[in-house]
């Protein structure tokens, strides 16, 4: 059974749940993360998976276990595989090709008397902006007590579209799952949350006594039960059970009640996405003392708003070079970069546009010509957001698209500007990766693109013999792309790579006319 997500589905879920975490709702924010694009809400994914199971008109879920094994994205085809369906159990997976991105297991019991839900207009929650967790996170002994209600119209639309009640998930219980999305995405840990697992127990039990506690926000008190016994809001008591700093994994335990009845106990495992702290500009001075050795020269750095591109722009400017920095979306980041360079006496000019666009590259050419008739350095650094993919039919279109876009981000600027670099007898730098010699299994598209770019650079060197051609193969760097616990440990600081490459540019080529493969990025 096919499953696809679109932006409208995310909008409806965000309205229904009050979870407006920017990883899911802001394209600009999500592009700066390791995921490179908006991530589908985990709870929306599990509800979509439940909707593909067979109807159970006389049953309801008593226990639900969900593991989120990988992020899901918009406009990607996923398949729901029903692994098992028996009288009282169901198991299913959401697959991206052969890779499971979600695993679900449900145990069913007899259906209880239906509970009427009359949610207040607009719902109920304590936050409209996600909580910003400090780094390192101070999570021990944190507790929240308050009330929650989904947005009534959006929630009703979601439940009706997915026919959740017929799949054994009555509205009150479904609301606890949306509350879990809200609590993790907006309260704890907030902005940096990504769900890893949910364990929900919906078995009937006596209501727990609410625990009053001080929290990091002022939470509304639950409404008393109405005269007719209808649920108006859910009361929750949420506490931090544990935090494992090795894997940045937070475990929250929530008890949900609709006075006087208990609805669910939910344990949520949440990955707290690490922050990538940018080193101070002064860190560059220790690696690369400022000089005027590139004074009078002009460089273009594509993809200059963050990561290696931003540090290369700073490093070149510190040597007296005038730097044109390209960017597409990250306006705030490019402005901050320009301010840092200006504060240190450098010259930085932003050129906004898509490196794949021939019209934009033609405009950049005119910009260069207005400044003279030469371009001394062309650094092809831009690349698309990277996600893991397998070589299989479900992923082949995404693999081919990634390769084509990666190549275009270098070849289009080269086609429009290399003659100006040759006129200056300057240098072309193509940013490749050490992944070409040690390919990660999940990055076939990335490895293929970098290998192709290296081949193009070698051909370009033959066509432009007066251009110094450098293929740079950085190691894994500490950037937003590697902001996961497993990747951060052996990652090299970006400023170290930028300083090392800039020092190499300042040196004379060992073998003039030969393509240089530069991998020596030690301090």
Cα 502–505–509 angle (5° rounding)? 150
Q: What integer pLDDT is reported at residue 221 of this predicted model?
A: 35
Residue 224 CB coordination number (10 Å): 10
CA distance 420 to 372: 10
**250 and 297 belong to one structural domain:** no
**240 and 340 belong to one structural domain:** no
**328 and 383 belong to one structural domain:** yes
The CATH number that applies at residue 364 is: 3.40.50.720
CA distance 39 to 27: 9
**442 and 420 belong to one structural domain:** yes
Whether residue 523 lies inside any domain: the answer is no
CA distance 358 to 354: 9
CA distance 26 to 14: 12
**310 and 210 belong to one structural domain:** no
DSSP track, 441-510: TT-HHHHHHHHHHHHHHHHHHHH-TTSEEEEE----BSSGGG-SHHHHTTPBPHHHHHHHHHHHHHSPPS
- Cβ neighbours for 347, distance < 8 A, ≥ 6 positions apart: 317, 322, 323, 341
According to DSSP, residue 129 is labeled S
Whether residue 435 lies inside any domain: the answer is yes
Whether residue 325 lies inside any domain: the answer is yes
- Cβ neighbours for 206, distance < 8 A, ≥ 6 positions apart: 262
Percent helix, strand, coil in the chain (nearest 5)?
35, 25, 40
Last residue of a domain, one of 238, 272, 306: 272
**122 and 34 belong to one structural domain:** yes
The beta strands (E) that lie in 245-311 are given as 249-258, 261-272, 298-301
Whether residue 403 lies inside any domain: the answer is yes
- Boundaries of domain holding 20: 2-272
- Helices marked H in 128-170: 152-162
**317 and 240 belong to one structural domain:** no
CA distance 9 to 48: 11
Number of folded domains in the chain? 2
Enclosing H/E stretch for 313: helix 307-318
Q: Write out the two tokens for 236.
A: 């929750």
Whether residue 277 lies inside any domain: the answer is no
Report cis status (omega within 30 of 0) of the bond before 136. yes
Whether residue 298 lies inside any domain: the answer is yes
CA distance 140 to 6: 37
Last residue of a domain, one of 228, 252, 272: 272
Per the rule left: phi > 0, alpha: psi between -120 and 50, beta: everything else, 135 is beta
Whether residue 179 lies inside any domain: the answer is yes
The CATH number that applies at residue 98 is: 3.10.129.10
Last residue of a domain, one of 272, 305, 323: 272
**7 and 146 belong to one structural domain:** yes
**333 and 268 belong to one structural domain:** no
Q: Write out the two tokens for 483.
A: 């902001």
Q: What integer pLDDT is reported at residue 481 of this predicted model?
A: 61
Whether residue 319 lies inside any domain: the answer is yes
Q: Which residues pair with 107 in a beta bridge?
A: 63, 89
Provide block-wise average pLDDT over 10 residues at a time, the chain (523 residues): 95 98 94 89 98 95 97 96 96 95 97 86 94 77 89 97 96 96 96 96 61 32 44 92 89 89 92 77 84 96 92 96 91 90 93 95 94 92 90 94 97 97 96 94 95 97 96 85 54 89 91 86 57
**69 and 185 belong to one structural domain:** yes
**288 and 260 belong to one structural domain:** no
**389 and 302 belong to one structural domain:** yes
């Amino acid at each position: 059974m096919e499953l696809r997500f679109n932006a409208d589905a995310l909008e409806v879920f965000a309205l229904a749940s009050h979870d407006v975490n920017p990883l899911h709702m802001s394209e600009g924010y999500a592009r700066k993360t390791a995921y490179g694009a908006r991530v589908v809400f985990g709870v929306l994914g599990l509800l979509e998976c439940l909707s593909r199971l067979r109807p159970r008109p006389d049953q309801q879920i008593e226990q639900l276990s969900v593991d989120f094994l990988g992020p899901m994205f918009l406009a990607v085809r996923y398949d729901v595989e029903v692994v098992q369906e028996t009288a009282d159990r169901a198991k299913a997976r959401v697959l991206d090709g052969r890779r499971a991105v979600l695993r679900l297991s449900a145990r069913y019991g007899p259906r209880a008397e239906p509970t009427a839900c009359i949610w207040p207009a607009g719902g109920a929650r304590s936050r409209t902006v996600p909580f910003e967790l400090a780094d390192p996170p101070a999570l021990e002994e944190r507790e929240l007590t308050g009330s929650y209600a989904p947005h009534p119209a959006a929630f009703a639309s979601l439940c009706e579209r997915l026919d959740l009640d017929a799949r054994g998930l009555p509205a009150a219980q479904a609301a606890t799952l949306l509350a879990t999305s809200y609590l993790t995405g907006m309260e704890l840990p907030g902005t940096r949350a990504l769900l890893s697992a949910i364990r929900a127990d919906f078995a009937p039990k006596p209501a727990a006594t609410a625990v009053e506690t001080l929290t990091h926000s002022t939470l509304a008190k639950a409404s008393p039960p109405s005269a007719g016994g209808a649920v108006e809001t859910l009361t929750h008591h949420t506490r931090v059970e544990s935090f494992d700093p090795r894997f940045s994994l937070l475990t929250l335990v929530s008890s949900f009640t609709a006075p006087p009845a208990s609805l669910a106990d939910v344990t949520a495992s949440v990955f707290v996405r690490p922050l990538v702290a940018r080193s101070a500009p002064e860190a560059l001075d220790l690696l690369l003392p400022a000089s005027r050795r590139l004074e009078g020269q002009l460089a273009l750095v594509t993809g200059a708003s963050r990561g290696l591109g931003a540090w290369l722009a700073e490093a070149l400017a510190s040597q007296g070079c005038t730097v044109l920095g390209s960017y597409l979306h990250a306006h705030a980041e490019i402005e901050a970069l320009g301010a840092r360079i200006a504060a240190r006496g450098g010259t930085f000019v932003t050129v906004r546009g898509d490196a794949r666009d021939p019209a934009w590259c033609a405009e950049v050419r005119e910009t260069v010509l207005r400044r003279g008739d030469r371009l001394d350095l062309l650094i092809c650094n831009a690349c698309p957001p990277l996600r893991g993919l397998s070589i299989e039919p479900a992923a082949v279109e995404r693999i081919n698209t990634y390769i084509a876009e990666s190549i275009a981000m270098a070849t289009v600027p080269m086609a429009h500007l290399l003659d100006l670099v040759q006129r200056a007898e300057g240098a072309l730098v193509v940013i490749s990766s050490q992944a070409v010699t040690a390919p990660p299994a999940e990055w076939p598209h990335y490895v293929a693109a970098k290998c192709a770019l290296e081949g193009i650079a070698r051909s370009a060197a033959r066509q432009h013999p007066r251009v110094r051609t450098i293929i740079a193969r950085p190691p894994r760097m500490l950037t937003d792309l590697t902001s996961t616990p497993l990747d951060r440990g052996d990652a090299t600081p970006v400023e170290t790579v930028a300083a090392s490459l800039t020092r190499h540019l300042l040196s004379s080529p060992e073998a003039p006319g030969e393509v240089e493969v530069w991998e020596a990025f030690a301090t």
